[in-house]
Amino acid sequence: MSTHSSPEPRTYVVTGAGRGLGLAVAEHLGRAGAHVVVAELRAEIAARGVEHLSAAGVRVTRVDTDVTDPGSVATLAAAVADLGGAHGLVNNAALADGVGGLPFWQIPDEAFSRVLDVNVRGTWLVSAALYDQLAGHRGAIVNLASDAALYGSPRLAHYVASKGAVIALTRGMARDAGPDGVRVNAVAPGLTRVEATESVPAERYALYREHRALPIDQTPGDVAGVVAFLLSEDARYVTGQTVVVDGGFVMA
Ligand SMILES: NC(=O)c1ccc[n+]([C@@H]2O[C@H](COP(=O)([O-])OP(=O)(O)OC[C@H]3O[C@@H](n4cnc5c(N)ncnc54)[C@H](O)[C@@H]3O)[C@@H](O)[C@H]2O)c1
């Protein structure tokens, strides 16, 4: 009779995992047996997300985190180290809610800076803080970009620029991390109906519906499965890439 020791549970950090796509990713990873760390800014959203995950039987740890605050990110890294270190990181937190609507020449300076700060600098800051742990496990990072960066969505220029920067950052990080066996990829979802996108105008939904190759609406689960694949050993030879998950709305 052969004996098998059960494999070490993998710990995945998902930023902004209190709701939306991050929550779907956390649930997908957790249902597959991972220990998930919810690193969310807003306490009430974090609480709701953790309750949902616990009810689904997911092993979850909540560390309230502001991805733009180095002190907060250091606290996150210390908490994850206490759990044995991160095997994977999903940089999902972003300002994605209520940012659209203005042409680029009307976007307030502070709004532009804030979107870049959360979406780009936050992604870099968390990745840097968790890097040693990830390298120790030859782990993987997945950054949430958006097909908006590839399509050039109108009245969303700061968000579009931030997600273009996430795609470029992914490539730079992949080159730096490759020698340590750490892979870095991005997923670029299309318009997916979640709380954050409830305010997106009906015409934008209609545009996607009309121009996708697949004539079906996108769900959070469509994104979660691809994120999980990129974190897995099945993707061991994939790094520096951006996988567009949008039903063929843009074809990169
Ligand atoms: N839903 C879509 O249609 C869509 C499409 C393309 C890309 N995306 C990307 O997917 C990701 C998730 O988007 P979503 O639609 O679920 O939006 P969402 O607003 O529900 O999720 C973002 C989460 O990040 C959290 N957050 C914001 N600032 C933070 C900070 N400073 N520190 C920590 N957490 C912070 C928010 O509280 C929120 O829970 C984002 O990166 C978004 O840009 C979403």
What CA–CA distance (Å, rounded) separates 29 from 227?
Answer: 9
Ligand 1 center–CA 109 separation, angstroms: 21
**What's residue 1's pLDDT?**
36
CA nearest ligand 1 atom 16, residue: 20
Q: Which phi and psi (to 5°) does residue 78 adopt?
A: -65, -40
| Token pair in block for residue 163 | 């997600």
∠ CA 167-168-171, nearest 5°, is 95
Q: Where are the domains of the chain?
A: 11-243
Looking at residue 7, the DSSP 8-state letter turns out to be: P
CB-defined site of ligand 1, < 6 Å: 15-16, 18-22, 40-42, 45, 65-68, 92-97, 118, 122, 144, 146, 189, 191-192, 194-197
State which ligand 1 atom lies nearest to the alpha carbon of 163: 43
**What's residue 252's pLDDT?**
75
**What's residue 7's pLDDT?**
64
Ligand 1 center–CA 4 separation, angstroms: 39
**What's residue 53's pLDDT?**
98
- Test site for ligand 1: of 144, 159, 198, 250, most ligand atoms within 8 A of the Cβ: 144
Residue 100 burial class via C-beta count within 10 angstroms: exposed 0-12, middle 13-18, buried 19 and up:
buried
For the chain, list residues with pLDDT below 70.
1-7
Cβ 224 vs Cβ 168: under 8 Å: no
Question: Taking the CB of residue 90, how many other CB atoms lie within 10 A of it?
Answer: 30
Ligand 1 center–CA 170 separation, angstroms: 17
For 110, the 3-state DSSP assignment is helix
pLDDT one-digit tens code per residue, 72-91: 999 999 999 999 999 999 99
For 226, the 3-state DSSP assignment is helix
- Test site for ligand 1: of 21, 23, 28, 123, most ligand atoms within 8 A of the Cβ: 21
Return the CATH superfamily for domain 11-243.
NAD(P)-binding Rossmann-like Domain (3.40.50.720)
**Which residues make Cβ contacts (< 8 Å) with residue 216, sequence separation at least 6?**
247
**What's residue 2's pLDDT?**
38
- State the catalytic residues: 159
